[in-house]
Amino acid sequence: MKIIVANWKMNPTTLREANDLFHFYVDQSLRHLNINIVACPPVLYLEELAKLKKEGGQVALGAQDFFWEETGAFTGQVSLSMLKPFGIEYALLGHSEKRYIAGETDEMINKKLLVALKQNIKPILLIGEKDKGDYRQDILIDQLSRDLAGVEAGQISNLLVCYEPVWAISSNSGGVSDTPENALEAVVSIREILAKMFSQEIAQDIPILYGGSVNSQNVASFLGHPEIAGAVVGSASLQAEEFGKLLEIGASL
Ligand code: PGA
């Protein structure tokens, strides 16, 4: 079963639009039972969307971010324990817009990831090179070893990894994705690195996704590969019609 993660980023601008979009997701999830849809809305909308989720449908909720401490003097932050009552099951970690706009370091990502695993939330760890043409295995090794430092083999069954080259994100590339061949090479490479860090047996069960300008036109070329477990989708996830097409194609694979 493929997984499609919708990263809404700082969109839409009103709760009403968020509700409408989520309603659409719920409808779609009932049509395509063989796709795992995860919606990651802005934190402010989680409470309302969690109520809609209770009305039916198969859409899981994910956090776009959280802070690693539970409570205390951390102005502007929200802890995972505060988000969990809204039924979140996943959390995006290491997104490049957090790494490069908000200055999040691998050490910070690692702290959050350890908290997520401890609290039984599935972290979706995003990694990938910043510049086009700079794909190198050592960048992936560096990110994976720092972001997963201290993670024990027994904890890892909840982990998902996404290869998302920063340059291929639609807001950076004008909508041009990586090629399916390169994405596949990176996904295979990530699995090899995870096998060395943990074990072959463990690595083979970790879902590895692709992200970066995924849309209805190209989703089949990525998800058609059994090695690629799903996709993280940004801008296409905000357009109901386009996202509906993408899900339909994903479900038909
Ligand atoms: P995109 O965004 O699909 O708009 O490229 C993906 C992401 O940033 O996670």
Tokens matching residue 216: 């209805």
> Do the beta carbons of residue 92 and residue 7 sit within 8 Å?
yes
- The rounded Å distance from CA 72 to ligand 1 centre is 32
Nearest to 3 by CA among 30, 31, 39, 27: 39
Tokens matching residue 114: 């350890």
User: Which residues on neighbouring strands pair with residue 79, listed in sequence order?
Assistant: 67
Catalytic position from the list 97, 104, 129, 164: 164
Q: What single string gives the DSSP state of each residue in 167-206?
A: GGSHHHHTSPPPPHHHHHHHHHHHHHHHHHHS-HHHHHTS
**Residue 164 annotated among the catalytic residues of the structure:** yes
Determine which helix (DSSP H) or strand (DSSP E) holds 17, and give its type and residue range: helix 15-31
Q: What is the C-alpha separation between 207 and 212, in angstroms, rounded?
A: 17
SS3 (DSSP) at 211: strand
Number of DSSP helices (H) and strands (E) in the chain, helices first = 11, 8
| Residue 3, φ and ψ in degrees, nearest 5 | -115, 130
Ligand 1 binding pocket includes 6 (Cβ within 6 Å): no
Ligand 1 binding pocket includes 250 (Cβ within 6 Å): no
Say what the pLDDT of residue 242 is: 98
How many of the other CB atoms lie within 10 Å of CB of 111? Answer: 16
What is the per-residue pLDDT across 113-147, written as a single tens digit (0 to 9) for each? 999 999 999 999 999 999 999 989 999 999 999 99
Say what the pLDDT of residue 108 is: 98
Say what the pLDDT of residue 54 is: 83
Q: How far from chain centre, in Å, is Cα 186? A: 16
Say what the pLDDT of residue 56 is: 78
Ligand 1 binding pocket includes 161 (Cβ within 6 Å): no
Which residue stretches of the chain have pLDDT < 50? none
How many of the other CB atoms lie within 10 Å of CB of 150? Answer: 10
